[in-house]
Amino acid sequence: MERYIGLDVHAQSCTVAVVSPTGKRVGCKVVQTNAAALIAALKEIPGRRHLCLEEGTQSAWLHEVLEPHVAELVVTVPKAKKGTKSDEADAWARAEELRVGSIETKVFKAPRRFAGLREAARSHWLLTQDTTRVKNRLKAIYRSRGIAGTGEEIYEAKKRDLWLEQLPPSKRQRAELLGEQLDGLEPLRNRAEKWLNAESKEHRAIGWVKSVPGLGPIRSAQVVAIVVTPHRFRTRRQFWAYSGLAVVTKSSADWVPKPGGGWTRAKRAMMTLGLNRNRQPILKSVFKGAATTVLMNEEHPLRKIYDKQVSGGMKPNLAKLTLARKLATLTLMLWKREEEYDPTKNHAPQNA
C-alpha cells in the first residue's frame, strides 16, 4: 500500500498531508517542527511512504533525519502559485505532485557527504561577499564627493585617515564605520580561507578539478563542495544548465507545410533570451572567473582558440561563454575519469 505525503515546513510547525494512490485525501495534521515529532508522525502512516517537501533552510536537515523512515524522499522547488495560499493547500499540492509524477525540479541532497568542505566553502563565499559589499560602499562614498583615483589605499587602516580628511564631517563618520567593519571582516575571511584549504586536503577530487585551467584552490574547492559527485550529470549540457551557462531560446510557428504534403521546419532564426536564470550562482561565478583568468594569459592554448573565434567574427562575450563552457566540460569529464588535465589530449568530447 503506497502513501504519498506532502510536508509544508515552517519554523515552529509542519503540515503533513497524506494521499492514497487513487488520489483520495487520507488525512492532514499539524506537527511540531521537531525531528522526534516528525518521525513519530511518519510512523503512524501505514504502507510504503513517499515524501515530498519544498527546498528551504531546513530541507537538508529534514532530508537527513527523515530519509531512513521513507521509501522515497523528494525535495522540490515548486512553481510560484497565484491565488489563495495556505499551509494545508501547499502540503496537499506536494503530495499530489509526487503521486502523479509532475515534479519538474528535484533538488539534489547529500547532507552527510563532504559536510566539512561544504560548510567551509559556504562560509568563505559569504564572507567574501560581505567584504566586497563593504568595499563597494566605502568606495561609493568617495565617488559621491568626486574623489577619483581611489585604489586599495582607502581600504588600508594605516592610510585611511589621509583619505577621510578629504570627506566632509557628514560623510566622514559613515566612512569610518565602514572602515572598521572592513577591518573586522578581513581576518574572518582569511580564517575561512585557511579552513577551506585545510578541508580541501582531505578530498582527492579537488586535485583533479584544480588541474583545469583557471581553477585554483578556492574555485576547485567550491566546485567539489557544490557538485559533490559528477555522476549527477549525464551530459555536459546538463552541467551547463546547472552552472548557468545554457542559452535560452524562443521560437514560434516552427513548422510549415511542404508543397507535396507533410510538414517541414520553418527557416526562422530562434530568438535568444540570454543565459538560463535557474542556475547555481556560485558555479556560474567560478567558471566565468576561470575563463577570465585564462584570457589573461595570452600564450595559453585556450586563449589562442578564443582569439581565433573572435577574429572569425564571433562576439567576444559569446567567445568567452564558449570558453567557460569548455572549462565546465573539462571539469566534469576529468572528475568522472579521475585524472588531471593534459593540454596535449582532447579533453572535450561531445558527452562528458
* Domain contains 110: no
Number of domains, the chain: 3
Q: Final residue of a domain: which of 175, 200, 225?
A: 200
Domain extent for 7 = 2-100
Distance between CA atoms of 17 and 25, rounded to whole angstroms? 8
Distance between CA atoms of 330 and 161, rounded to whole angstroms? 48
Q: What is the pLDDT of residues 222-275, one digit of tens each?
A: 999 999 999 999 999 999 999 999 988 888 888 889 888 899 988 876 777 889
Q: What is the pLDDT of residues 43-100, one digit of tens each?
A: 999 999 999 999 999 999 999 999 999 999 999 999 888 888 899 999 999 999 999 9
What strand order describes the sheet that includes 13-19?
Answer: 25-32, 13-19, 2-9, 48-54, 72-76
> The C-alpha cell of 300 is what?
595559453
Is the separation of the CB atoms in 326 and 348 below 8 Å? yes
Residue 135 has pLDDT above 90, yes or no: yes
Q: Given this model, what pLDDT does residue 150 score? A: 64
Amino acid, single-letter form, for residue 49 = R
- CATH of residue 54: 3.30.420.40
Place 1 in a pLDDT band, splitting at 50, 70 and 90.
confident
The stretch 119-127 carries a mean pLDDT of: 96
Under 8 Å CB-to-CB from 242, ≥6 apart: which residues? 233, 279, 280, 283
Angle at 182 between CA 146 and CA 153, to 5 degrees: 50
Is the separation of the CB atoms in 49 and 5 below 8 Å? yes
* Domain contains 264: no
Left if phi > 0, otherwise alpha if psi is -120 to 50, otherwise beta: which for 78? beta
Report the candidate in 39, 144, 53, 62 with the shortest Cα–Cα distance to residue 93: 53
- The H or E element that residue 158 is part of is none
* Domain contains 14: yes
Q: Final residue of a domain: which of 100, 134, 168?
A: 100
Q: Final residue of a domain: which of 200, 231, 260?
A: 200
* Domain contains 139: yes
* Domain contains 254: no
Torsion sign across C-alpha atoms 221, 225, 229, 230:
negative
Q: Given this model, what pLDDT does residue 350 score? A: 46
Left if phi > 0, otherwise alpha if psi is -120 to 50, otherwise beta: which for 80? beta
Q: What is the pLDDT of residues 99-111, one digit of tens each?
A: 999 998 899 998 8
Which residues in 206-218 are b (16+ Cβ under 10 Å) and which e?
A: bebbbbbbbbeeb
Q: Given this model, what pLDDT does residue 253 score? A: 83
* Domain contains 309: yes
Q: What is the pLDDT of residues 285-342, one digit of tens each?
A: 999 999 999 999 988 999 999 999 999 999 999 999 999 999 999 999 999 999 999 8
**210 lies in the same domain as 301:** yes
pTM strictly above 0.75: yes
**142 lies in the same domain as 38:** no
Amino acid, single-letter form, for residue 244 = G
Instruction: Provide the β-strand partners of residue 74.
Output: 52
